[in-house]
């Protein structure tokens, strides 16, 4: 068997980004999860979600963050589960989470009340938690079926190492694996060797930072770590005029299967799914937005169909 390729990014990852202590344990868990579900005939999607945090000091007081609520990833996870996928949810610690996302702004104590019996028993006030019974039922089905494996990260280093581990763990199930890379990942970081240990002092005057470019992890993921998988990246811009060109450039560079392109302000109602040969606009009407239809449902329908076709082609 051919030796796995070692890319220069592997070296950089090892040297400049501290690996989390539990990476091996998590990798084994993800590999066992993928294997079990593939044997049961299921596809497995690895969803990344939320923003990465980049520390400015090694004993971190300050950090740079990427914007993302985690809603795209969390709601997509639910639609993938509804489509029969098993889901590894690699998410920013405390960002929105499947099912609980619907109640994330509710104060927990406001959802509870003493029962009428005066026994001190506490019950849920269903008026404050609309649909709770329905959501709880689905959540229990998913957890009892062990269909959702959550893994969390906070820093960019954790994210990079855990994504690499996930890619290698899922490589054993070949084209049944999908990567849905919706996390908002920093393009810049300060290497460990150049990071001050202690809190940067404001008494030293204005702060000037030089940050390095984060290695493009998509490249070894597609080429080396999970070469048979179906890979989707997300492209976020604030300027709509450059969005599609950037999405096409990403496809040309990394040679993966699709880019979901979106603009920050319109991301809840409009995205474009770009593949080497197609360009599908996914749009919600005003009426659909009002009725709380979620665009992730349409994105997932589009991509699961493309994934099924991809699996058939790979097998043929
Ligand atoms: C996205 O574009 C996601 O759709 C959002 C979702 C982060 C906009 P929310 O979590 O928002 O629902 O609030 N993710 C990818 C963002 C990104 O940083 N992409 C990079 C790029 O565009 C790397 S592929 O260059």
Instruction: Name the token pair of 101.
Output: 């996302």
Q: Which ligand 1 atom sits nearest the alpha carbon of residue 67?
A: 7
Helix ranges (H only) for the chain are 8-16, 23-39, 71-82, 132-144, 156-170, 218-220, 243-254, 286-290, 295-315
Q: Which ligand 1 atom sits nearest the alpha carbon of residue 71?
A: 12
What confidence tens digit (pLDDT) does each residue in 266-280 have?
999 999 999 999 999
Distance of CA 16 to the CA centre of its chain: 23
49, 50, 67, 68, best to mutate for ligand 1 pocket (most atoms within 8 Å of CB): 68
Q: Whose CA is nearest to atom 5 of ligand 1?
A: 68
Where do the domains of the chain lie, and which CATH numbers do they carry?
8-199+209-228 (3.40.50.10300)
Q: Is 262 in the pocket of ligand 1 (CB under 6 A)?
A: yes
Instruction: Name the token pair of 296.
Output: 């992730």
What confidence tens digit (pLDDT) does each residue in 163-222 have?
999 999 999 999 999 999 999 999 999 988 899 999 999 999 999 999 999 999 999 999
50, 52, 234, 303, best to mutate for ligand 1 pocket (most atoms within 8 Å of CB): 234
Any residues with CB less than 8 A from the CB of 163 and at least 6 apart, and which? Answer: 48, 90, 217, 221
- Alpha carbon distance 258, 180 (integer Å): 10
The DSSP 8-state label assigned to residue 131 in this structure reads: T
Compute the distance from residue 251 Cα to the ligand 1 centre, in Å.
16
- pLDDT bin (cut points 50, 70, 90) of residue 316 is confident
What confidence tens digit (pLDDT) does each residue in 25-46 have?
999 999 999 999 999 999 999 9
Nearest to residue 45, comparing CAs of 82, 77, 75?
Answer: 77
Q: Which ligand 1 atom sits nearest the alpha carbon of residue 182?
A: 14
Phi-psi region of 207 (alpha: psi -120 to 50; beta: other; left: phi over 0): beta
Compute the distance from residue 113 Cα to the ligand 1 centre, in Å.
39
CB 282 within 8 A of CB 298: yes
Sign of the CA dihedral with 56 first, then 62, 64, and 65 last: positive
Q: Which ligand 1 atom sits nearest the alpha carbon of residue 259?
A: 24
Q: Is 233 in the pocket of ligand 1 (CB under 6 A)?
A: yes
Q: Is 92 in the pocket of ligand 1 (CB under 6 A)?
A: no
Any residues with CB less than 8 A from the CB of 172 and at least 6 apart, and which? Answer: 31, 34, 35, 38
- Alpha carbon distance 310, 97 (integer Å): 29
- Alpha carbon distance 274, 272 (integer Å): 6
């Amino acid at each position: 068997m051919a030796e796995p390729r070692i890319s220069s990014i592997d070296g950089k990852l090892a040297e400049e980004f501290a690996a989390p202590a539990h990476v091996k344990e998590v990798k084994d868990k993800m590999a066992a999860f993928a294997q079990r579900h593939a044997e049961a005939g299921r596809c497995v999607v690895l969803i990344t979600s939320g923003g990465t945090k980049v520390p400015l000091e090694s004993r971190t007081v300050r950090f740079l963050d990427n914007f993302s609520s985690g809603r795209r990833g969390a709601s997509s996870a639910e639609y993938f589960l509804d489509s029969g996928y098993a889901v590894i949810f690699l998410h920013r610690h405390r960002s929105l989470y499947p099912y609980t996302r619907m109640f994330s702004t509710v104060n927990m104590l406001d959802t509870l009340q003493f029962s009428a019996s005066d026994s001190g028993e506490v019950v849920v006030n269903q008026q404050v938690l609309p649909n709770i019974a329905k959501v709880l039922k689905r959540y229990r089905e998913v957890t009892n079926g062990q269909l959702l494996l959550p893994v969390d990260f906070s820093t960019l280093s954790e994210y990079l190492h855990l994504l690499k581990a996930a890619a290698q763990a899922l490589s054993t199930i070949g084209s049944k694996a999908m990567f849905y890379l919706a996390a908002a990942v920093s393009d810049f970081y300060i290497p460990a060797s150049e990071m001050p240990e202690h809190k940067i002092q404001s008494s030293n005057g204005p702060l000037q930072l030089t940050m390095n470019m984060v290695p493009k992890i998509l490249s070894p993921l597609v080429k080396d770590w999970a070469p048979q998988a179906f890979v989707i990246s997300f492209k976020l811009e604030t300027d709509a005029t450059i969005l599609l060109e950037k999405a096409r450039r990403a496809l040309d560079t990394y040679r993966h299967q699709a880019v979901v392109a979106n603009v920050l302000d319109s991301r809840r109602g409009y995205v474009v799914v770009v593949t080497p040969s197609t360009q599908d606009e996914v749009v919600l009407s005003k009426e659909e937005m009002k009725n709380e239809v979620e665009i992730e449902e349409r994105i997932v329908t589009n991509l699961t169909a493309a994934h099924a076709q991809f699996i058939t082609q790979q097998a043929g």
